[in-house]
């Protein structure tokens, strides 16, 4: 029996493939390379020390999915495949609803048809919306998302929960990620954003390597200790290990469970910049600019449900995250392009 990993060539997916294999799972990977490159797959195989089947396939292609299920015995799906750029989702919402929401519906239809009813889904802290105060707990009311990307995650959580109510054989774990950063400690795989990065850590790394002149820090007048935004940064390898635990759980239970994957500790943008400089002995020039529309002051998790339900806890600290992000960036200044 194997676990199908959709979007397995992407940033979080590639790290998860390695941790799943290390934990003894057989995996099958699917990706349409919309936001990833074949080189990521080569390096994932190299780091895992084991080959696994790969299908270049879109999650909206029901026939392609059927073939994967027919050619492999799939007992559960870890579902990463999706579009994730918040700003872009405001410009082209239909593309996001089609890819993320429709894609997940097609995937679930084929899974049900093939008798595979276990899924670990990549949700996001963004489903908590603007109103809930941190630390965020899974029992808070979700919704009130500020952009189409966030709404796709909110809608998919609802769809998967409805599915579990309609058919008690379904088992779904909704993993709400906080802010994944860092890279595999080998420096061989990591986050490879297209164009100018939107997210903090890839931007910081590209400033440190001289590709970008300086970081713009979006606001220093939030109600936080130093005025800059506070986030729950989590090492991508810790996050990947959370998927191993969630898979163990989904194979042994039914029903839907939402689980936060975060460290529970909030660090500010300035904390991260200073930790990065110190851990790596590099400079990161910055300038304070206006707040970015839609941003919140402090967002961090209460990770206790992940500990009690899944037996998972983040182990890596901010220094590891900064060191590993820099190793990836400095060893691969052009990402996977080289
Ligand atoms: P990523 O873009 O690196 O990986 C997603 C992968 O899915 C890519 O390889 C892409 O080619 C593939 N894909 C997209 N649409 C597809 C489709 N229709 N069919 C097949 N493959 C498709 O992103 P990531 O950072 O690894 O994120 C993985 C998941 O986690 C996404 O669903 C994302 O929304 C979610 N998430 C990410 C973050 C974050 O900060 N990185 C935070 C919260 C949630
Ligand atoms: N920031 C800057 N300058 C930058 C980029 C970011 O100051 O160039 C600040 C932001 O204002 C924020 C913090 O750094 O305070 C983190 O910003 P990111 O863009 O890295 O991450 P967000 O918390 O805004 O969003 C991330 C993902 C979303 C996801 C959300 C859920 O990008 O997909 O976490 O928590 F929905």
- CA separation for the pair 13, 6 (Å, rounded): 8
What confidence category does residue 275 fall into, taking pLDDT thresholds of 50, 70 and 90? very high
Average pLDDT over residues 269-294: 97
Active site residue 11: no
User: For 70-86, how does the pLDDT look when each residue is reduced to its tens digit (9 = 90+)?
Assistant: 999 999 999 999 999 99
State residue 337's pLDDT score.
84
- The yes-or-no verdict on residue 89 having pLDDT over 80 is yes
Q: State the ligand closest to the CA atom of 124.
A: 1
State residue 338's pLDDT score.
54
User: For 4-37, how does the pLDDT look when each residue is reduced to its tens digit (9 = 90+)?
Assistant: 999 999 999 999 999 999 999 999 999 999 999 9
Cβ of residue 190 lying under 6 Å from some atom of ligand 1: no
Of 96, 128, 149, 249, the active-site residue reads 149
Cβ of residue 16 lying under 6 Å from some atom of ligand 1: no
For residue 261, list its beta bridge partners: 177
User: For 206-237, how does the pLDDT look when each residue is reduced to its tens digit (9 = 90+)?
Assistant: 999 999 999 999 999 999 999 999 999 999 99
Protein residue with least CA distance to atom 15, ligand 2 = 229
State residue 145's pLDDT score.
93
| CA distances for 308 relative to 83, 253, 302, 304, 305, angstroms | 31, 15, 12, 6, 5
The rounded Å distance from CA 223 to ligand 1 centre is 31
Atom of ligand 1 nearest to the CA of 125: 43
CB environment 126-164: b (16+ within 10 A), e (fewer): bbbbeebebbbebeeebeebbbbbbbbbbbbbeebbebb
Q: Which helix (H) or strand (E) holds 247?
A: helix 236-252
Question: If you search the block for the tokens 């983040």, which residue do you land on?
Answer: 314
The rounded Å distance from CA 43 to ligand 1 centre is 18
Average pLDDT over residues 279-303: 97
**pTM attached to this predicted model:** 0.98
Residue count of the chain, please give it.
Answer: 338
């Amino acid at each position: 029996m194997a676990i199908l990993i959709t979007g397995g060539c992407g940033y979080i997916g590639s790290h998860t493939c390695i941790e799943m294999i290390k934990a003894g799972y057989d995996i099958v990977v699917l990706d349409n390379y919309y936001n990833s490159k074949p080189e990521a797959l080569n390096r994932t195989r190299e780091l895992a020390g084991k080959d696994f089947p790969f299908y270049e396939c879109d999650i909206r292609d029901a026939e392609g999915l059927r073939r994967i299920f027919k050619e492999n015995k799939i007992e559960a799906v870890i579902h990463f495949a999706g579009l994730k750029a918040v700003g872009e989702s405001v410009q082209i919402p239909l593309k996001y609803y089609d890819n993320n929401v429709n894609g997940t519906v097609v995937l679930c239809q084929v899974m049900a048809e093939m008798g595979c009813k276990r899924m670990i889904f990549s949700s996001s802290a963004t489903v908590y919306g603007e109103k809930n105060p941190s630390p965020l707990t899974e029992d808070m009311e979700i919704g009130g998302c500020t952009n189409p990307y966030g709404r796709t995650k909110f809608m998919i959580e609802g769809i998967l929960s409805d599915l579990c109510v309609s058919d008690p054989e379904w088992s779904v774990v909704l993993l709400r990620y906080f802010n994944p950063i860092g890279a595999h400690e080998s420096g061989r795989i990591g986050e490879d954003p297209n164009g100018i990065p939107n997210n903090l850590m890839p931007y910081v790394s590209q400033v440190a390597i001289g590709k970008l002149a300086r970081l713009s820090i979006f606001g220093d007048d939030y109600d936080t200790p130093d005025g800059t935004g506070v986030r729950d940064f989590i090492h991508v390898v810790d996050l990947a290990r959370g998927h191993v635990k969630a898979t163990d759980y989904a194979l042994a239970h039914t029903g839907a469970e939402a689980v936060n994957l975060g460290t529970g500790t909030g660090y500010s943008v300035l904390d991260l910049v200073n930790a990065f400089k110190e851990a790596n002995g590099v400079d990161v020039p910055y300038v304070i600019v206006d707040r970015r529309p839609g941003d919140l002051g402090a967002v961090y998790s209460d990770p206790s449900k992940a500990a009690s339900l899944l037996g998972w806890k983040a182990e890596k600290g901010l220094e590891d995250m900064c060191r590993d992000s820099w190793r990836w960036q400095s060893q691969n200044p052009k990402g996977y392009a080289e």
